[in-house]
Amino acid sequence: MDTLELILKRLESDPRFMDSVTHWEKIPAQKGQYQPFPDDINPAIRNALRKKGITELYTHQAESYKAVMEGENIVVVTPTASGKSLCYNLPVIQQLIKKPASRALYLFPTKALSQDQQSELNSLVNEGELPLKVSTYDGDTPSSVRISARETGRIVISNPDMLHSGILPNHPKWIKFLGNLDFVVIDEIHTYTGIFGSHMTNLVRRLKRVSEFYGSSPQIICCSATIRNPKDLAERITESAVRLVDNNGAPSGSKNVILYNPPLVDAVQGIRRGVVLESKNVAVQFIKEKIKTIIFARSRVRAELIASYLRKALRNFFNEDNRTRVESYRGGYLPGERRGIERDLREGKIHGVVSTNALELGIDIGSLDAAVLAGIPSSISSVWQQVGRAGRRNTLSAAVIIASASPTDQYLVKNPDYFFSRSPESGLINPDNMYILMDHLKCAVFELPFAEGEEFGGPISDYMAILEEDGVVRYSGGKWFWADRSYPAEQISLRSSTPENIVIINTTAGRNEVIGEMDLPSAKELLFKNAVYIHRGEQFLSRELDLENKCCYVEASEFNYYTDSIVKTDIKLLQKDRQESRGGASILLGDVLVRSQVAKYKKLKFSTHENIGYGEIFLPEEEMHTRSAVILLKTGTPSGDAFQAVPEQLRERVLSKAGTLIKNAAPVFLLCSAHDIGIAERLKDLYEGYPALYLYDNAPGGTGLAEGFIHTADEIITAAFEMVKNCSCRRGCPSCIGAEDISGDENIKEEVIRFFTKWLGKDES
């Protein structure tokens, strides 16, 4: 019996540990399913693979090869470490050797993944002495190498940002490449959701348009982690028919996946032991026995904290021989430091590594034996990517997933089915988001004039008319031409508009030190003047939030209350697209105008959450045009009748709590974070006069979340209900409806449960 097996046995018989375990899944080992190399494969490739120890293909690799050879676009969905890159490398290299002019473009969402792929391809090409040049072309590529990359690179590895601002706007330099572009590989396609994904479709439109101009029409090969709708997402991004390949034939060792909910400290308020200390405790069990372990933390600070706690804990056991090594790994380290840690991991010199999700994607660190997830990542596909970091082809591995107090974590840890049966989450995008579309149309017309009647995902003459009014395009001779001195791609970023951060400055006793930073929207809600702000356990009072200079001055304080801002949201339905009966309510979809203002705050007493006063906040109003789903609690529908049964004086609060729950449940099903969704409630909506919940896309123009909500409304509403029903607190806590004033008479939590029970027609018992 090996060490890991012994540790697992020990944990399983430890009642204190098992009390916190909500589920223990033992996934048996899988045998590999193989197929021989196809006959037509070039002997040089076969030889190169053989040198690397590959003598036959997994079933999904064989199917991918066949499908690509038949000219199909494909999306390959298989777990981490299943030989995914051979699914595209094999057919691409085969074709590139056969046709010496042919070229391929590989797109990865991060530079680290590009580097990884470059070294993998290099080793294949070198082993087989294949006549192919593989070039990386990204922001780090020196200009001397850039020319040779475009002139002679047969496979060019890049990222969407570089394609957007470097390659496409300069396409005449790339004529040799684009004119012979036969393959585009888009890996990690599940990361292209929301704003980034909506940009991605438009980027693919531009790439296809320019390629077509030079006479090529590339085949597209996508890869995705396991999500609910890989084929759909791939088809939305490529706007082409795509064949799904998901017959994973890779072998895997047996795996133990343990869901762990830290024990309650205060049952009334639903407070649990912190995820940092619990993760440390669990990880120590593995590391002290020299089991190679990776710990994933949700933030950089937490990664450092856990690492230092681990080192402290291990000092007792192993300082003398000094052989146990724990490192932290996160963004913000120098590239050299990172490469060093990666290398030592691969070579097995590090026993424990505490990382942010920086190590989640692709980077080759070899295989580890155990993974500890300190908090559940924002999506289930990330959970599996992180869990997949532990486990080799044929040995036992373990992963412990530790829930934080967040509502989503608490929901998931109690609903293991979401991990072990079909993935619940859909990747959603909205390529026709008017703002995103407009941005890309500017880039596209800069790249090539638009002819009258030409489409870009749809008709474009309205957009061109606007650009013409703005004087940046010119209509002449049946075409629209770019007619402005600017370079449009330069001003457009594909990543979700990174809000500028507010720097938090501690001015206590004449000091002037930066203690942290916060994104702008959160700062408005947490750092307004007179807010009580808790930073790493210390209490501060905000003296001034200076939006112009992007900083906030705080001072140490000792109040017996904390503050909670009240965001006043005014929402107006501009246009209704459709209305459907779903989830026991009438749900409509349309365009909305959201005006929001942080106008007031509550002072809440620590421990009881008693409301002891209000204050004013003076911050400017914000306006956004976006897409929204509107849940109308119409009389005569189960939702409407359930709501009528709520005592009148509690209706407003119950509706607001229901909204919070739905907002927190949605990210389980829609590949996004709770921050991407906005919620607003109306006791009497202007549209049809019923109570209504608006669930809107928190990005101008929308990113497909409102549409996605309609499709999964039943599941999301049920999950919202379960979230509150199964929460162990008595009267509301941050893990369900939010902390509540526990001094009052009414129990809002019970009212909310009653409301949902009735709405969903569940049994009252």
Partner 1 sequence: MSPDGKLADRLRRLREAGMNGQPGRRESRQTSSENELSGWKRISGHVYSREKMYPSPFTADGEETFSAPFFSGSSGSIGNLVFYDLETTGLSTGAGVVAFLAGLGKLRNGKLVVKQFFLSDFPGEELFLSSIIEELEDESILVSYNGRTFDRHLLVSRSLMNRLVFPSLPEIDLLYLSRRLWKEHIPSCTLSSVEENILGVFRAHDVPGRDIPDLYFSFQKTARTDLLAGIFKHHLMDIVSLASLFQHIRFLWENPSRCRGGERYSLGRLMLHYGRVEGESLLMQVWEDGKSFSRKAGILLALYYKRLGRVDLSYPIWRRIWDSTEEPRCGIELAKYYEHGKKEYKKALEITQSMLNNPGNMQEKLLHRMNRLKRRINRTTGI
Residues that bind partner 1 (CB under 8 A): 168-173, 175, 195, 434-436, 438-439, 445-449, 462-463, 465-466, 468-469, 471, 474-477, 479, 481-489, 492-493, 497, 574, 591, 623-625, 700-701
Burial 222-236 (b: 16+ CB within 10 A, else e): bbbbbbbbbbbbbbb
Shortest Cβ distance from residue 501 to partner 1 (Å)?
Answer: 18
**DSSP structural state of residue 263:** P
d(CA 512, CA 555): 10
Closer of 434 and 547 to partner 1 (Cβ): 434
Number of C-beta neighbours around residue 141 at 10 A: 16
CA distances for 214 relative to 73, 171, 476, 502, angstroms: 20, 10, 23, 46
Shortest Cβ distance from residue 756 to partner 1 (Å)?
Answer: 35
Closer of 36 and 172 to partner 1 (Cβ): 172
d(CA 159, CA 138): 7
d(CA 393, CA 358): 23
Shortest Cβ distance from residue 392 to partner 1 (Å)?
Answer: 43
Shortest Cβ distance from residue 485 to partner 1 (Å)?
Answer: 4
Shortest Cβ distance from residue 90 to partner 1 (Å)?
Answer: 34
Which residues have a Cβ under 8 Å from the Cβ of 261 and sit 6 or more positions away?
Answer: 20, 21, 22, 272, 402, 403, 410, 413, 414
Burial 594-619 (b: 16+ CB within 10 A, else e): bebbbeebbbbbeeebeeeeeeebeb
Shortest Cβ distance from residue 214 to partner 1 (Å)?
Answer: 9
Sign of the four-CA dihedral 46, 52, 53, 56 = negative
**114, 159 Cβ separation under 8 angstroms:** yes
Which residues have a Cβ under 8 Å from the Cβ of 319 and sit 6 or more positions away?
Answer: none
* Strands 34-35 and 293-297, bridge-based pairing: unpaired
**DSSP structural state of residue 491:** G
Shortest Cβ distance from residue 227 to partner 1 (Å)?
Answer: 25
What the block records as the tokens of 692 is 């209504």
Closer of 522 and 560 to partner 1 (Cβ): 522
Q: 624 has which bridge partners? A: 594
Closer of 42 and 493 to partner 1 (Cβ): 493
Closer of 305 and 437 to partner 1 (Cβ): 437
d(CA 351, CA 318): 12
Residue 137 backbone dihedrals phi, psi, to 5 degrees = -130, 95
DSSP string, 663-714: HHHHHHHBTS-GGGEEEEEESS-TTTSS-EEEEEESSTT--SHHHHHHHTHH
Shortest Cβ distance from residue 570 to partner 1 (Å)?
Answer: 14
Q: How many residues does the chain have?
A: 765
Helix/strand/coil percentages in the chain, nearest 5 = 40, 25, 35
Shortest Cβ distance from residue 474 to partner 1 (Å)?
Answer: 6
Closer of 195 and 693 to partner 1 (Cβ): 195
Closer of 173 and 325 to partner 1 (Cβ): 173
Closer of 105 and 353 to partner 1 (Cβ): 105
d(CA 155, CA 106): 7
Closer of 5 and 462 to partner 1 (Cβ): 462
Half-sphere exposure of 111 (CA within 13 A, CB side): 9
d(CA 88, CA 67): 11
**726, 414 Cβ separation under 8 angstroms:** yes
d(CA 709, CA 717): 10
CA distances for 394 relative to 251, 550, 570, 670, angstroms: 7, 53, 57, 34
Shortest Cβ distance from residue 465 to partner 1 (Å)?
Answer: 6
d(CA 368, CA 399): 10
Shortest Cβ distance from residue 575 to partner 1 (Å)?
Answer: 8
Closer of 146 and 600 to partner 1 (Cβ): 146
Closer of 479 and 762 to partner 1 (Cβ): 479
Shortest Cβ distance from residue 619 to partner 1 (Å)?
Answer: 17
**368, 351 Cβ separation under 8 angstroms:** no
d(CA 289, CA 296): 19
d(CA 517, CA 332): 14
Shortest Cβ distance from residue 666 to partner 1 (Å)?
Answer: 22
**598, 523 Cβ separation under 8 angstroms:** no
Shortest Cβ distance from residue 171 to partner 1 (Å)?
Answer: 5
Closer of 398 and 460 to partner 1 (Cβ): 460
Shortest Cβ distance from residue 265 to partner 1 (Å)?
Answer: 43
Shortest Cβ distance from residue 491 to partner 1 (Å)?
Answer: 8
Closer of 276 and 624 to partner 1 (Cβ): 624
What the block records as the tokens of 118 is 């470059």
Closer of 251 and 521 to partner 1 (Cβ): 521
What the block records as the tokens of 211 is 């390629």
What the block records as the tokens of 586 is 């009438």
Closer of 294 and 489 to partner 1 (Cβ): 489
Closer of 468 and 544 to partner 1 (Cβ): 468
Half-sphere exposure of 605 (CA within 13 A, CB side): 8
Closer of 21 and 466 to partner 1 (Cβ): 466
d(CA 191, CA 596): 29
Shortest Cβ distance from residue 213 to partner 1 (Å)?
Answer: 8
